[in-house]
Structure formats: C-alpha cells, structure tokens
Amino acid sequence: MKSLIRIFAIMRKEFLQMSRDRLTFGMIVGIPLIQLLMFGYAINTDVRNLSAAYVDEAETHLSRQFVADMTASQVIIMKQRVASVFELEQLLDAGSISIGIVIPDDFDRRVIERDRQAAQLLVDGTDPIILGVARQLSALPIKFDSQASPPKQADLMEVRNYYNPERRSAVNIVPGLVGVILTMTMVLFTAVAIVREKERGNLELLINTPIKTPELMLGKIFPYILIGLIQLLIILSLGWYFFQVPIRGSLIQVLGASLVFIAANLSLGLLLSTVATTQFQAMQMTFFFFLPSILISGFMFPFDGMPVIAQNIAELLPLTHFNRLIRGIVLRGADIMTMLDEMLALAIFAFITLTLAIVRFSKRLD
C-alpha cells in the first residue's frame, strides 16, 4: 500500500514536470510527426529521376527512338548530350550524372543482328541502389518498328508481390518508423530521467527518504509508457492518412506488442541513467545504442542479407524483434500468437535491463 502511494507520487510528479517542460512536450508530439513525414517521403527505394547523359555516335532514327524511350521510362532524366565517351566519364567523375549511355555508331546493326549488346550504360556503382536501377534499364525492350519483333521469350519465373502490390516504400518504412521513433524517444527520456535529478540535486533528497529503488524505477517508467502509446497512435494514424499504410492485423495486438517494446526501451534508458553522470553522457549513450538499432535491426536493410555476426548482434536489439512483430501484424495481418518468441525476447530484454538498473542504482552517494 505504501509502495503504491510512493509509485503514484513519482508518476504524478513526472507528469507535472513533463507538462511544464515545453521542449519535452514538443518532442513527444514533434518527433513522430516530423520524422514520419520526413522519412515517409524521403526514404524511397523505388528510384526515379536519376540524372543521365548520353553519347549518340550512330545518329539514326533508331538511336533517337532509343533515347526517347529511356527518357519516357522516367527512371532517368536526360541532362545533356555529349560528344565522346571521355566527356561522359568526366561527368560521372564530377558526380553531375549517375548514368551515362553510350550508343555506338553501329547501333542499328547490333540491334538487328543481336550478336552483341547494342549499347552501354556507364553507372555510378558506389550506390548499389542505382546499380540495381541500371539493371532494370538494361532490360528495356527496344522497339524497332521497321523490323519484325523478335520472338518473345517468357521469363523463367513470375514475381507475385504479396502485401504491397504497388511497391510503395512507405508501406515498409512507416511501421518500421514506429519502432525507430519509440527507440529514440523512450530510451532518451528515461536515460536523462534519473541523471537530471542527479544534476539538479533532487536525488540527494530522494535517496534520503524511505522510497525503495523498484518504486522509483516503476514510477519513472509508467508515465512514459503512456507517452509511447500516444506516439504509436500518432504514427499509425498519420501513416494511414498520408501514406495509406493499411493496418491489416488487430489493433489490440499492435498495442500489446508495442507495450512490451516500450517497456524494454524504458528499462534500457533507466539502466543508462544509472551509468551516466551527466545528461550529456546519457544522450551520447542513447545514440550509441540508437545507431546500430536503425542500421542492423532490419529497418533499413533486409535482415537476411546481413552477415551472421551482425544478425546475432541484431537479435540483442529490441528493435529487431519489434520490427518483425509490427510489420507482421500491421502489414501481413499476422497473428501475434505465431510470433510469441519475439514477444518473449522483448520481455526478457525488459526484465534483465530493469533488474540491472535496480541493482546498479544505489541509495548511497559513494
């Protein structure tokens, strides 16, 4: 009973402080809003409008038709025509184009005879995504109207796109963003929570009262769980409104998965808070954790493509498990019961970090 009074006291105090700290309050709503719009529109693996230039040594009807077709695909924007391959390479070096097209003077003959490649694409391969786009371009058919079209060959395999038939990146990005934004804000909020009291001198008063460490920790966590759920609702509803990201699974299950994930992040934040001595240190530690979470959790790059070591490390990050959960439930309409191991992983993470935080926190100054 006394414990409940004390936990409630800490919670109430946190809410009061939060409501008076405009910056924090702004971050609660602002971060999801801005990041969702920014990433939702910016992160686009469906590449269009790459800058290009070309050399046309053939100067025939066919070659001009070919350049027009390329431009019509919208994948590239033809910036200019140059006189030689050398100039094309210079443009590539300077970074002013990503793709250069070389049409040799015997282009027509090559197209008709089909014994060699008819034209050449010079690609800035430093970005693998651009390279992938170039591969698509090379598959473009060449219409040679004066010629009977060669017999069509059927592809070996047919691709059927499940869950995202329009191939929109936002469908993948938005649910992933839920996890990224929650990781950032939740860890950060609690990471500074105890350090701030340390810095402002409040902690010396607090540790001289009968409050017990678990009471303090729980009182610090509960208010932020609510904040996390608010952020979740903001992201999902805006994602649905702006990017037409569907929620195919049950909303209750989304909430359930998010709750465990939020608890995991908050516990981690508290653990960082017991290690750091200043708010600045707490922030640095948060970002040390945040960056790998973004990069190897499967949010940015497909998990299966990573080396085994990276995969093993990623399994330790809550975001990895949450990404599978939220994408499963939101996009594929999966049942949470089929992914209980992911839930368990998150729960274990939360339990271990919270226990460590409680053990590490000392009611003494030495």
Partner 1 sequence: MNQQQIAISASGLTRRFGSLVAVDNVDLEIPKGTIYGFLGPNGSGKSTTIRMLCGLLTPSAGSATVLGINTKKESEALKQRIGYMTQRFSLYEDLSVKENLQFVSEIYAVARRQRKLRVQELLQDFKLVDRSKQRAGTLSGGQKQRLALAAATLHKPEILFLDEPTSAVDPQNRRDFWETLFELAEQGATILVSTHYMDEAARCHSLAILDEGVKVADGTPRQLGEGIASHVVEIEADDPNRARLSLMEQKEISSITQLGIKLRVLIPKTVIDPLQLVNSSLQSTGVTTKAEQVFPDLEDVFVAVTQKRREGTAA
Nearest to 155 by CA among 145, 143, 167, 141: 141
Q: What is the dihedral of CA 258, 262, 268, 269, to 10 degrees?
A: 150
Options 153-161, 209-217, 304-312, 349-357: segment touching partner 1 (CB under 8 A) = 209-217
Cβ at position 359, least distance to partner 1 in Å:
16
The Cα–Cα gap between 94 and 71 comes to: 22
Distance CA 342, CA 335 (A): 12
Write the binding mask 12 to 41 for partner 1: x where contact by CB under 8 A, - elsewhere.
Answer: xx--xx--xx--------------------
Please, what is the minimum distance in Å from the beta carbon of residue 213 to partner 1?
10
* 359 makes contact with partner 1 (CB under 8 A): no
Comparison of 16 and 34: residue with beta carbon closer to partner 1 = 16
Question: Three-state SS across 2-13?
Answer: HHHHHHHHHHHH
| 48 vs 200 by CB, closer to partner 1 | 200
Across the beta sheet with 99-103, the strand order is 76-82, 50-56, 99-103, 120-123
CB 271 within 8 A of CB 288: no
Per CB under 8 A, the list member of 128, 141, 151, 210 interacting with partner 1 is: 210
Q: Is 308 in the site for partner 1 (CB under 8 A)?
A: no
- Interface with partner 1: number of residues (CB under 8 A): 29
Work out how close the CB of 276 gets to partner 1 at its nearest, in angstroms, rounded to a whole number: 19
Least distance between partner 1 and beta carbon 8 (Å): 7
The residues in 167-206 that bind partner 1, with binding defined as CB under 8 A, are 200-206
- The DSSP call for residue 336 is G
Q: Specify the DSSP class assigned to residue 317.
A: S
Between CA 59 and CA 52 the distance in angstroms is: 18
* Minimum distance from residue 178 beta carbon to partner 1 (Å): 30
- Applying CB under 8 A, which of residues 22, 114, 152, 364 lies at the interface with partner 1? 364
C-alpha torsion sign, points 285, 289, 294, 299: negative
Residue 263: CB minimum distance to partner 1, A: 24
Q: How far is CA 259 from CA 61, 252, 282, in A?
A: 63, 10, 23
Which CB atom, from 45 or from 208, has the smaller least distance to partner 1? 208
Task: Name the site residues for partner 1 (rule: CB under 8 A).
Answer: 1-2, 5-6, 8-10, 12-13, 16-17, 20-21, 200-211, 363-366
